């Protein structure tokens, strides 16, 4: 029953005295005070007022600290309004149990909730002195008072908190009534346990366990006699006896000694123990319990994501129906939240991003990285090269660059050419092949030549598109070569042969979406949306702003042979009693055809060997990896997203917003090194490699599933005048297209013509390991490099791997708040880069 009744005013000093006297005489007989024997109106009124007081106290759980754990059980951080950890009485030192009884309620085990002797004595003293009823409170009465305060505090009732502590006869009478009732329902051990758990020990420290950890760096079970006496002595006035304040140590010592002498007088300790404790120095070992994500160290941004995920997502209704309710639940509910974070991997990622770009680097360039486990969606690491602090300084920020705006992140970043695998997957789904030939030349196309949901885009404009410095190409080339070298011209023409709605569907199948709600770009969309736009031809070049977490999850779909798993950061939540609560179930779905996903993986396999990240190179262990670089105009956003069968990691590198603007990464000095232009392969790819090599160290090498032979197709052959061997084409899996037509410098490194006879150097159509080392000339082992055919890559463009890859629109905002996808003309940016 909730405490709602208010005691009537007790008439005068006589009524107070009579009631107190009656209570003192009848406590052992029951709760009601009979009016028989009372004389006078004042006496009768006082007794009636006491009888009408409530006898039951609403059972309100105490506010308890919630703890967030990593996957290995280590503590990430805690959240609390009141730092409290509940412990059973058998986990509290007997010294502490006895000390609190000795100093606060020496007849605790004898009375029924109210100490009659102490009560009458205090009444007489207070009435004679003209004060109010105070003192003589038993542990049970103090527990009642603290429970009433806690109840009011948790209900947000400030007046109730004050009423529970006011010095008045009315409040004292209510405590007496409730205390005697409580003693009938609970054992002395239960009352002592609750008292030790609810009691305030100063600051935000509540309960004996938190006090033991804070003041002595130990547990309640391990408290020594001197330590127990110090804590017991603090209860009377935690501010006066605060042992964390050097100026108060003498006062605390004197109070401790009083406790020890009381224990000795009551036979709880012998003289030897007392004398030894009296001689002990007061030696606090202050060990703060830090709370919140700002105190989570390198886990701070992951912590921030988890906190916002739980509080802002309706998937966690077990903690409350609204965001506010869930916030209160975390700060007061005593939950244990276990997450997917792998601390060793996180530490590796932190070292990688910090070494590449120090937090306080004058360039104000940031780096963020996310690692996801393919096939489960578990978010294993989420980090950036900044400190999670709300204070100013270029090394600090609370904006989480890795996540969506809803979960504490930015408005996302343009993805550049890391979006091209979506177009490649759509290409393969349409029945086309990896070895199909497409022109990579720069050029222009009418916007109306692009199709959206079966209809041509209504526009009279023309889109001029160009290739970039790290993705150059011209003439005919295979789709595989265009992918390795990130050739814009080729991919624009590929998209032109597809339906933009199909491209969008593929992106959505991989979990892609805008990082923040955007004003619609397409006429039939909602006013604001997070959908990938399907009416913008420049979509292929990465004009949709997305988060690193989204990109890592999308590529994990390819690593898992087309099985998309929603990101998972929380694996379990248990309440204070260890009872599991409902959390979102792992949701995985086959959203891409296995053959399509596995063939895209083959198509991306050359990025680190002879593609735009060739300067970074493959993983040292020999573990095969696929991936893609991405760079936007002006190098405002640069990426490398790559994966192995075991892990998918995205790395974003770009300038922060300073005074509302983002600079371009051209002619820039980062970490003491000057760059003419930064590409995806310049900084992002090396960071990715360091993370992945450390994460996979000692792990067994795992092969990707085989690509589909039909989707790979047959390597195109270019016959040239005077080539005597042109009639006997090779079938190399490395992706070279022959004389003068391969963008990839590496395709002709050995001087063999791609069309020479004998070349099976890679295994046919790429359905075995032959394609993994793409870029090796198909005729390496057998072709004739003489004749008139020329070198297989003489006319090819730059290998592009030196600095990575670019792709997309200028702009992009790391955004302190939501921002729309940059406005583009119907045709897209005028000078997209890979």
Question: What's the confidence (pLDDT) of residue 566?
Answer: 98
Total residues found in the chain within this entry = 834
Long-range contacts of range 822-826, CB-CB < 8 Å, 24 or more positions apart?
822/414, 822/543, 822/545, 823/521, 824/521, 824/536, 824/538, 824/543, 825/461, 825/463, 826/447, 826/457, 826/459, 826/461, 826/463, 826/535, 826/536, 826/537
Question: What's the confidence (pLDDT) of residue 659?
Answer: 86
The answer to whether 494 touches 541, Cβ cutoff 8 Å, is no
* Token pair of 321 as six digits: 């129906």
Task: Give the span between the Cα atoms of 559 and 642, in whole angstroms.
Answer: 9
CA dist list (Å): 603 to 310, 477, 485, 766 = 38, 14, 11, 9
Q: What's the gap between Cα 231 and its chain centre?
A: 37
pLDDT confidence tier of residue 524, bands split at 50, 70 and 90: confident
Question: What's the confidence (pLDDT) of residue 165?
Answer: 84
pLDDT reading at 821 higher than 70 = no
pLDDT reading at 428 higher than 70 = yes
pLDDT reading at 197 higher than 80 = yes
pLDDT reading at 744 higher than 80 = no
Q: What are phi and psi of 299, to 5 degrees?
A: -85, 5
Nearest Cα neighbor of 39 from 14, 13, 73, 60 is 14
pLDDT, tens digit (0-9, with 9 covering 90-100), for 263-309 = 999 999 999 999 999 999 999 999 998 899 999 999 999 999 999 99
Task: Give the span between the Cα atoms of 521 and 503, in whole angstroms.
Answer: 16
* 99 Cβ contact partners less than 8 Å away, ≥ 6 residues apart: 225, 228, 229, 231, 232, 259, 263, 268
Average pLDDT for 739-764:
34
pLDDT, greater one: 46 or 789: 46
pTM assigned to the model: 0.80
pLDDT, tens digit (0-9, with 9 covering 90-100), for 456-489 = 999 999 999 998 765 556 789 999 999 999 999 9
Nearest Cα neighbor of 496 from 403, 426, 393 is 426
Average pLDDT for 522-526:
81
Of the ranges 703-712, 721-730, 752-761, the best mean pLDDT one = 703-712
Average pLDDT for 674-685:
97
The answer to whether 640 touches 688, Cβ cutoff 8 Å, is yes
Question: What's the confidence (pLDDT) of residue 787?
Answer: 35
pLDDT confidence tier of residue 49, bands split at 50, 70 and 90: low
Counting DSSP H helices and E strands in the chain, the numbers are: 23, 24
Nearest Cα neighbor of 418 from 536, 297, 606, 554 is 554
Task: Give the span between the Cα atoms of 477 and 763, in whole angstroms.
Answer: 20
**In a 3-state reduction of DSSP, which class is residue 641?**
strand
pLDDT reading at 754 higher than 50 = no
**In a 3-state reduction of DSSP, which class is residue 695?**
helix
Of the ranges 544-553, 707-716, 760-769, the best mean pLDDT one = 544-553
397 sits in which H/E element: none
Q: What are phi and psi of 263, to 5 degrees?
A: -60, -40
Strands (E), 491-554: 518-519, 528-529, 545-546
pLDDT, tens digit (0-9, with 9 covering 90-100), for 91-118 = 999 999 999 999 999 999 999 999 887 7
pLDDT, greater one: 750 or 686: 686
pLDDT, tens digit (0-9, with 9 covering 90-100), for 774-799 = 333 333 333 333 333 333 333 333 33
pLDDT confidence tier of residue 54, bands split at 50, 70 and 90: low
Question: What's the confidence (pLDDT) of residue 488?
Answer: 96
pLDDT, tens digit (0-9, with 9 covering 90-100), for 121-139 = 666 666 655 554 445 689 9
pLDDT reading at 394 higher than 90 = yes
Cα angle vertex 152, ends 146, 156, to 5°?
140
Question: What's the confidence (pLDDT) of residue 815?
Answer: 31
With the CA atoms of 626, 811, 456 and 628 taken in that order, what torsion angle do they form, in degrees rounded to the nearest 10? -10
- Mean of all residue pLDDT scores within the chain: 83
Question: What's the confidence (pLDDT) of residue 580?
Answer: 97
171 sits in which H/E element: helix 169-185
Least confident of 208-217, 506-515, 711-720: 711-720
> Maximum CA pair distance of the chain?
132
Nearest Cα neighbor of 679 from 473, 510, 472 is 472
Average pLDDT for 201-210:
96
- Rg of the chain over all Cα atoms, to the nearest angstrom: 36
pLDDT confidence tier of residue 828, bands split at 50, 70 and 90: very low
Question: What's the confidence (pLDDT) of residue 525?
Answer: 77
Task: Give the span between the Cα atoms of 810 and 808, in whole angstroms.
Answer: 7
pLDDT reading at 830 higher than 50 = no
Nearest Cα neighbor of 179 from 123, 116, 114, 119 is 114
pLDDT reading at 176 higher than 50 = yes
The answer to whether 60 touches 332, Cβ cutoff 8 Å, is no
- Residue 541 has a CB neighbour count (10 Å cut-off) of 33
Beta strands 666-670 and 365-372, pairing class: unpaired
pLDDT, greater one: 818 or 294: 294
pLDDT reading at 677 higher than 60 = yes
pLDDT reading at 806 higher than 80 = no
Question: What's the confidence (pLDDT) of residue 379?
Answer: 98
pLDDT, greater one: 471 or 658: 658
pLDDT reading at 773 higher than 80 = no
pLDDT reading at 37 higher than 90 = no
pLDDT, tens digit (0-9, with 9 covering 90-100), for 361-390 = 999 999 999 999 999 999 999 999 999 998
Task: Give the span between the Cα atoms of 347 and 381, in whole angstroms.
Answer: 9
Least confident of 572-576, 581-585, 706-710, 771-775: 771-775
Question: What's the confidence (pLDDT) of residue 831?
Answer: 31
Number of C-alpha atoms within 13 angstroms, CB side, residue 148?
26
pLDDT, tens digit (0-9, with 9 covering 90-100), for 614-648 = 999 999 999 999 999 999 999 999 999 999 999 99
The answer to whether 105 touches 115, Cβ cutoff 8 Å, is yes
Least confident of 71-85, 191-205, 522-536, 809-823: 809-823
pLDDT, greater one: 801 or 400: 400
Question: What's the confidence (pLDDT) of residue 714?
Answer: 92
Percent of the chain with pLDDT over 90: 69
The answer to whether 804 touches 653, Cβ cutoff 8 Å, is no
Q: What are phi and psi of 444, to 5 degrees?
A: -145, 150
* 69 Cβ contact partners less than 8 Å away, ≥ 6 residues apart: 75, 76, 336, 337, 338, 339
pLDDT, greater one: 165 or 311: 311
pLDDT reading at 425 higher than 60 = yes
Strand partners, 673: 670
pLDDT reading at 438 higher than 60 = yes
């Amino acid at each position: 029953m909730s405490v709602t009744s208010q005691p009537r005013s007790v008439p005068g000093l006589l009524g107070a005295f009579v009631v107190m006297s009656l209570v003192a005489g009848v406590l052992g007989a029951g709760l009601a005070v009979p009016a028989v024997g009372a004389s006078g109106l004042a006496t009768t009124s006082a007794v009636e007022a006491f009888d009408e007081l409530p006898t039951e106290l609403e059972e309100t759980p105490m506010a308890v600290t919630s703890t967030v754990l990593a996957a290995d059980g280590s503590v990430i951080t805690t959240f609390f309004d009141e730092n409290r950890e509940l412990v059973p009485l058998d986990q509290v030192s007997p010294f502490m149990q006895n000390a609190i009884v000795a100093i606060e309620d020496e007849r605790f085990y004898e009375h029924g909730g109210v100490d009659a002797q102490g009560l009458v004595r205090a009444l007489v003293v207070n009435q004679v002195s003209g004060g109010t009823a105070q003192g003589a409170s038993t542990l049970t009465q103090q527990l009642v008072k603290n429970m009433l305060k806690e109840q009011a505090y948790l209900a947000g009732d400030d007046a109730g908190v004050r009423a529970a502590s006011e010095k008045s006869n009315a409040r004292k009478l209510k405590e007496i009534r409730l205390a005697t009732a409580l003693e009938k329902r609970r054992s002395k051990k239960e009352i002592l346990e609750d008292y030790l758990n609810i009691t305030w020990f100063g600051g935000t420290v509540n309960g004996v366990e938190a006090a033991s950890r804070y003041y002595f760096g130990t547990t309640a079970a391990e408290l020594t006699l001197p330590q127990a006496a110090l804590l017991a002595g603090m209860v009377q006035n935690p501010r006066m006896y605060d042992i964390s304040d050097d100026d108060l140590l003498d006062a605390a010592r004197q109070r401790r000694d009083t406790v020890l002498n009381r224990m000795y007088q009551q036979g709880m300790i012998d003289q030897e123990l007392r004398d030894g404790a009296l001689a002990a120095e007061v030696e606090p070992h202050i060990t703060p319990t830090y709370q919140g994500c700002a105190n989570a160290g390198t886990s701070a941004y992951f912590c921030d994501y988890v906190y916002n995920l739980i509080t802002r997502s309706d998937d966690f209704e077990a903690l409350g129906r609204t965001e506010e309710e869930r916030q209160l639940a975390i700060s007061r509910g005593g939950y244990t939240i276990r997450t997917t974070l792998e601390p060793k991997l996180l530490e590796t990622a932190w070292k990688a991003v910090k070494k590449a770009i120090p937090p306080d680097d004058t360039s104000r360039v940031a780096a963020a990285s996310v690692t996801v486990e393919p096939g489960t969606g578990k978010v294993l690491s989420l980090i950036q090269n900044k400190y999670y602090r709300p204070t100013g300084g270029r090394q600090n920020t609370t904006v989480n660059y890795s996540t969506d705006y809803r979960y504490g992140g930015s408005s996302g970043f343009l993805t550049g050419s890391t979006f091209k695998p979506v177009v490649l997957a759509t290409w393969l789904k349409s029945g086309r092949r990896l070895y199909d030939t497409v022109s990579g030349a720069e050029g222009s196309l009418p916007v109306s030549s692009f199709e959206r949901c079966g209809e041509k885009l209504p526009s009279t404009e023309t889109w001029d598109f160009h290739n970039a410095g790290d993705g150059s190409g011209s003439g005919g080339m295979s789709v595989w070569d265009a992918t390795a070298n990130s050739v814009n011209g080729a991919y624009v023409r590929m998209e032109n042969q597809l339906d933009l709605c199909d491209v969008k569907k593929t992106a959505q199948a991989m979990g892609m979406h805008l990082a923040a709600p955007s004003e619609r770009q397409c006429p039939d969309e909602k006013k604001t949306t997070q959908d990938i736009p399907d009416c913008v031809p420049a979509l292929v070049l990465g004009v949709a702003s997305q988060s690193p977490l989204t990109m890592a999850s999308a590529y994990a779909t390819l690593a898992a042979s087309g099985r998309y798993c929603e990101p998972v950061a929380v694996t379990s939540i248990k309440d204070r009693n260890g009872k599991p609560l409902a959390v979102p179930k792992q949701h995985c779905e086959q959203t891409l055809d296995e053959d399509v996903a596995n063939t895209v993986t083959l198509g991306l396999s050359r990025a680190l060997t002879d593609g735009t990240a060739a300067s970074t190179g493959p993983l040292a262990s020999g573990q095969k990896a696929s991936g893609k670089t991405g760079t936007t105009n002006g190098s405002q956003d640069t990426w490398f997203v790559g994966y192995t069968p075991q892990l998918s990691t995205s790395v974003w590198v770009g300038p922060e917003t300073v005074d509302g603007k983002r600079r371009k990464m051209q002619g820039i000095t980062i970490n003491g090194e000057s760059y003419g232009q930064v590409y995806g392969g310049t900084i992002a790819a090396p960071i990715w490699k360091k993370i992945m090599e450390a994460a996979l160290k000692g792990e067994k090498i795992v092969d990707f599933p085989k690509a589909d032979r039909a989707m790979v197709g047959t390597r195109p052959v270019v016959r040239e005048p005077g080539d005597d061997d042109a009639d006997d084409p090779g079938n190399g899996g490395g992706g070279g297209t022959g004389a003068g037509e391969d963008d990839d410098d590496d395709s002709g490194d050995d001087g063999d013509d791609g069309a020479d006879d004998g070349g099976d150097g890679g295994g046919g159509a790429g359905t075995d390991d032959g394609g993994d080392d793409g870029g090796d000339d198909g005729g390496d082992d057998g072709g004739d490099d003489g004749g008139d055919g020329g070198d297989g890559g003489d006319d090819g463009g730059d290998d592009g791997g030196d600095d990575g890859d670019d792709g997309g629109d200028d702009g992009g905002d790391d955004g302190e708040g939501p921002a729309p996808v940059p406005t583009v003309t119907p045709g897209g940016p005028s000078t997209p880069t890979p």
